[in-house]
Amino acid sequence: MVDKGNEIFEIEDDELLGESDNVRIMDDVNTLEDELLGEDGPTVPKVGMKFKDENAVLGFYKSYAYDIGFPVRKRNSKNGDDGVVKYVTFTYSQEGRRSSTASTSLKPQPTTQTRCKTRLSACLETYGLWRINSVILEHNHLISHSKSRLYRCNRELSAHVKCRLEVNGVVGISLYKSFNSAVVEVEGYEQMTCVEKDCRNYIKKVRRLRLGEGDVAIQAYFSRMQIQCPGFYFSIDLDEEARLKNMFWADNRCREAYKEFGDVVTFDTTYLTNKYDMPFAPFVGVNHHGQSTLLGCGLVSNEDTETFVWLFRTWLQCMHGQALIGIITDQDRAMQNAIQIVFPNTKNR
């Protein structure tokens, strides 16, 4: 039966239903989901509510959380013997507890995790319906509806904004101006479904070297250098679509200098004014004259942990697996994470 007043769709587990009944069930579920997202305010999740699939459950819970003012995430899921997801739990995105009380420059103490028990669990039942089987709605922290649009789970870039960013980037308009024009178009920051950081991350993602004429020329140049100088080393990282993401190179002079002056190295990324606006990543040491000496160079498409892990591993392979004693970087967290993975015994300052 469907209780329209309580907006709960119930089916008895031992009820035998035919094909026509199954169609009726799905129609009622669709009607119910439309009602749950009505204009009468947020509908409170209740045990027994049923939905047509897992995404519908998540969509309903995210809508409720948005109206109340807290972010959500999938905490865990469980598959059945057939490999199909049968059970899923959604929680407050900062749910959990601190795993350590230690606080160092390499492992700062988390400050956002709470022990909030708010959660919603659902399971897959007969006829492919998902049923909410447990709900906890109490919070042990402040919630704010006004901040809902700023939570990561609610932010997204529309196709229109993505197109604007890419076109403006090609003609040289700064990201700051592009974002502000989007704000003006929707009549205020409160109407934006993203923040400036999301736009910057998107531009970083799409601003990769493509294997066009110029990029093939780079590969050809590196190949010629390797023939002329047997000690010349280079490596190119491609994505799934054969687009150039990252590159590293070092000549024989860099490799020989590392053998003598590679105890402590400084590493940082700086932007060059070029067509791609890609971060340039040099490895620099100090020779016996107190002068800076280059120990390798890289161009990277992003400044995340995955990219730095690739760059550090490539550089280590170039230097015959000889790990350095110390490395000096800025306070970039992604760099520190990559150093811990690739150089676990190296001191980072």
* Residue 328: band (very low, low, confident or very high) from pLDDT cuts 50, 70, 90: very high
Cα–Cα distance, 315 to 239 (Å, whole number): 19
In sequence order, which residues have a C-beta less than 8 Å from that of residue 330 and are 6 or more positions away? 268
In sequence order, which residues have a C-beta less than 8 Å from that of residue 24 and are 6 or more positions away? none
Whether the model pTM is above 0.75: no
* Cα dihedral sign, 55-59-60-61: positive
DSSP, collapsed to helix, strand or coil, labels residue 97 as coil
Residue 173 CA: distances (Å) to CA of 156, 167, 180, 202, 229: 22, 9, 11, 15, 41
pLDDT in tens, 241-256: 667 788 899 999 999 9
DSSP, collapsed to helix, strand or coil, labels residue 291 as coil
Do residues 36 and 7 touch, judged by C-beta distance below 8 A? yes
Tell me, what amino acid is at 213? E
Nearest to residue 56, comparing CAs of 5, 148, 150, 120? Answer: 120
* Phi then psi dihedrals of residue 58, to 5 deg: -65, -40
pLDDT in tens, 124-155: 987 789 999 999 888 888 887 777 777 888 88
- Average pLDDT along the chain: 78
